[in-house]
Amino acid sequence: CSLRENEGEPLTPEQRRRISILLSEFVDTFKPGGDPTPFAEHRINTENHAPISVPPYRLSPAKKEILKQELDDLLKKEIIEESESPYAAPVVLVPKPNGKHRLCVDYRKLNAVTVTDSYPLPRLDDLLHDAKNIGYISTIDLQSGYHQVKIHDDDKDKTAFVTPLGAYRFKRMAFGLKNAPATFQRLMDRFKNGLPSVKILIYLDDIIIMSPTFEDHLNDLTLVFKRLAQFKLKANRLKCNFACSKVKYLGHYITTRGLEVDPEKVEAITKLPVPKDIKQVKSFLQTCSWYRRFIEGFSTLSKPLCELTKKNAAWKWTEQEQKAFAALKEKLVSSPILKQADPDQPYTIRTDASGYGLGTVLLQGKNENEHPIEYASRLLTSAEQNYSTTEREALAVIWALNKFRGYIDGAQVTISSDHQPLKWLLSIKSPSGRLARWALQLQSYNLNIQYIPGRNNVIADMLSRPTCVHEERNPCCLCSVTIDLPTRSPSDIRTEQLKDNDLRKIIEAFEDRSDEVDLNRWTERGYIMNRGVLYRYSHDSDSDEAQLVVPMQERGQILKEFHDAPTAGHYGIEGTLDRISKRFFWTGMRRFITEYIKNCVECNRYKASTQKPAGLLQTPVHNQRFESLSIDLFGPLPEGKDKKKWIFIVEDCSTRWVELFALAQATAKECAITLLEEVILRYGLPRRVISDNGSQFVSSVMQQLCFLLDIKQCLVPVYHPQANPVERKKPRLAILVGQEHRNWVDHLPVIRFAMNTSKCETYLQFGR
């Protein structure tokens, strides 16, 4: 174990040899494995909450094989053990950059009920203030730091996770647990307290040793290595650097000359290219105007650029406009706008994503006292440009959290965005791949999600839309062709949504935010706001995109575009619903689409029926009267005498003799009693009863009656009422009732007489 070629730049050959000898003496520090540290135990306080169990996520056979290898490795290292715990969390396999996978546990449900450990992380100002009078710098990165901390025996069951291969629990502290950073920082502070003579900076698993002279540095490293051995902590040699002259740490560079600001901190602003058109000038002025209260003489400085935005103004870019542009950029990255972070104040992160870039700004303060701490932006890779809109917005949040981690670890953080990707990311049912990695990265942060209108997110919006600076015509990822297409602006869509009373209530709940209960209810149902427009995520859909919520007055137009238009093709109910539900949502969508398509004139005219063809007629031969009965209900009718509303029709299939009975309620019990007392006890037992599939006839009451009297019950096919002979009596019955809407009960005997004397029903029944 010796120095690498890229280490020890300021050292002489003799000094390099001495450092290598020191590393060889403590080679055990860099060997993986070993017992956990005896100086810390992780506790999980869920108070009296019931155990939380989540079913495992589905895995492909290939992923199961990878999972088996990961489990075997963790069992061999004694990091996990088999479990019979009532707790259960699902696992996800997160791919690493080297092509391998990391086993991670989705502890979102457990973290939601875990009491927060408020142990403070180090103040950035204090850490950076100590970075002075430095001659030699070394960095030590602990190896899988969390896995070197034991979990308390009473809390091991709470870390249980379930896989298709069995249930296990952690013996060592797992990644993704809510209070893991606080536990680890408490351990490292205890580690540091035993080194009073060593100038050392510790932030979680990052250790920096600084010394004025080589001899002091050699002695300091010796003390640190002995302390690591005492605490049984292991280091990762590949990530350690010894005797360096420059180290990047928490957004700054620690050098032998002192503390230097990281140029990347303001690079997003300082590298802004010169605007090429009016649109880019307006975007830059909006950002500057957001902090105009901090810029002395803002109106005078910005006047040359403001002149370009006036109506009918000719485009020009002279030395005067260039000076104004440079002066405003300088103001944005200097005090009093850009300030040092105050660890006692909460942070706000504003993010935005475009089709080709990400932009973010770290802020502190509220209202008029709001000021930026750091700016950041970057272009999307070719793969990231293929992400959905929601995934790009979520990527912007995850990238911002990682970018500003040195500031926000352990602090209260508000994510302000004109999209709501975190709500989607935290509620997604079974994350996989990058979605799983992002969801797990959020577990250690204390986040509050806040929606802001797009007009108030001008800084992140500008940073996410950088200007192409290619003078040549070579293609680049920012070059685009502008085509005027008929599109609707978000303001027009919002106006239409506000006309719908139901949607207006939801929008007001998001923008007012005074009723948190009401807001949480709509959020749990998947509703979000994006640039002032209401969208909704479907929890049952595999799509990662949110659907636009359509107001009532525009739903018919949507159906015309997706069903009636020549490009739509008059698809059926399922096909039309599938196409519309990918982009739009409204309550009762299936019912609305079904009614629309059933009433479509073109579909009814040309489309073939989906019903099966009628079978061959099989006329039974009747042996006697009242051998087969046909029964049905007619109604509901206007309430008549004694509150009668239904007509129970019974017809003998052989003689066509009809009996009509007025009923107050069309229940199975009423029909069964009437059939038994008024027909069967008068005319004798039939061999079979024919009826449709009405609930009164398929009920247990009617089935028991037929079973006890040994009557065969025959139900006609669905969509083929003609198989029930009594159906032919209904139109005639309606005609005979006529206009006597309230007195139809009194006319029922006359109607029955007319039906039974039309042909030869009386002769067949009574022989005369």
Which residues neighbour 472 within 8 Å (Cβ) at sequence distance 6 or greater? none
| Host H or E run for residue 6 | none
Q: What is the pLDDT of residue 457?
A: 56
C-alpha closest to that of 649 among 634, 639, 663: 634
What pLDDT sits at residue 223? 92
Mean pLDDT, to the nearest integer, of 454-477? 52
Q: In the predicted model, what is the mean pLDDT of residues 592-600?
A: 90
Least confident interval from 88-97, 444-453, 520-529: 444-453
pLDDT of residue 63: 83
Q: What pLDDT band is residue 159 in, cutting at 50, 70 and 90? A: very high
pLDDT above 70 coverage of the chain, percent: 76
pLDDT of residue 151: 93
Mean confidence (pLDDT) of the chain: 79
- The 10s digit of each residue's pLDDT in 482-493 is 444 456 778 888
pLDDT of res. 425: 61
Among the listed residues 379, 371, 268, 275, the one whose alpha carbon sits nearest the alpha carbon of residue 325: 275
Positive/negative CA dihedral, 261, 264, 266, 271: positive
- Radius of gyration of the chain measured on its C-alpha atoms: 39
Task: Tell me the β-bridge partners of 210.
Answer: 137, 199
CATH number for the domain whose boundaries are 266-333? 3.30.70.270
The predicted structure's pLDDT at residue 472: 45
207 closest CA partner among 172, 234, 230, 173: 234
Domain 347-464: assigned CATH number: 3.30.420.10
Structure confidence at residue 224 (pLDDT): 92
List phi, psi (to 5°) of 691.
-155, 170
pLDDT of 418 reads 64
For residue 260, pLDDT over 90 is answered with no
pLDDT given for residue 485 in this prediction:
44
Q: Token pair for residue 489?
A: 């602006």
Q: Which two tokens stand for residue 758?
A: 């039309």
CATH number of 490-606: 1.10.340.70
Give the number of residues written for the chain. 768
* CA distance linking residue 606 with residue 602, whole number of Å: 6
d(CA 579, CA 335): 53
What pLDDT, on the 0 to 100 scale, is given for residue 267? 61
- Give me the pLDDT at residue 287, please: 65
Q: How many CA atoms lie within 13 A of 347 on its CB side?
A: 29
Q: Which residue has the higher pLDDT, 604 or 123?
A: 604
377 — phi, psi (to 5°)? -160, 155
User: Are the folds of 266-333 and 347-464 the same?
Assistant: no
Architecture of domain 628-757: 2-Layer Sandwich (3.30)
Query: What residue spans define the domains of the chain?
Result: 13-260, 266-333, 347-464, 490-606, 628-757
pLDDT tens-place string over residues 168-178: 999 999 888 88
**b or e along 601-635 (b: 16 or more beta carbons within 10 Å of the residue's beta carbon)?**
eebeeeeeeeeeeeeeeeeeeeeebbbbbbbbbbe
What would the pLDDT profile of 355-405 be if each residue is shown by its tens digit? Answer: 777 888 888 877 666 777 776 777 788 778 878 777 788 888 888 887 777
- Token readout for 498 is 């506000």
Question: Count of alpha carbons within 13 Å of 351, Cβ hemisphere only?
Answer: 29
Tokens of 413: 């953080």
- Fold classification of 13-260 is HIV Type 1 Reverse Transcriptase; Chain A, domain 1 (3.10.10)
The pLDDT, as a whole number, for residue 478 is 47
- On whether the CB atoms of residues 375 and 358 are closer than 8 A, the answer is no
CA 407, CA 413: separation in Å to the nearest integer?
Answer: 10
Cα distances from 261 to residues 20, 241, 250, 321, 335, in angstroms, run: 32, 21, 10, 29, 14
Q: Which residues does residue 632 pair with via DSSP β-bridges, in sequence order?
A: 649
CA 640 – CA 647 distance, rounded (Å)? 11
Identify the sign of the CA torsion 701, 702, 703, 708: positive
d(CA 464, CA 461): 5
Tell me, what's the pLDDT at 447?
74
Res. 477: pLDDT tops 50: no
Residue 295 pLDDT > 70, yes or no? no
Q: What does the block give as tokens for 126?
A: 């204090």
Q: So what's the pLDDT on residue 582? A: 83
- Side-by-side strand order, sheet with 527-530: 527-530, 533-536, 547-549, 584-585
Residues 6+ apart with CB under 8 A from 689: 628, 629, 630, 631, 675, 706, 711, 712, 713, 714
Contact yes or no for 693/676 (Cβ under 8 A): no
Q: How confident is the model at residue 98 (pLDDT cuts 50, 70, 90)?
A: low
Question: Is 360 or 233 the better-scoring residue by pLDDT?
Answer: 233
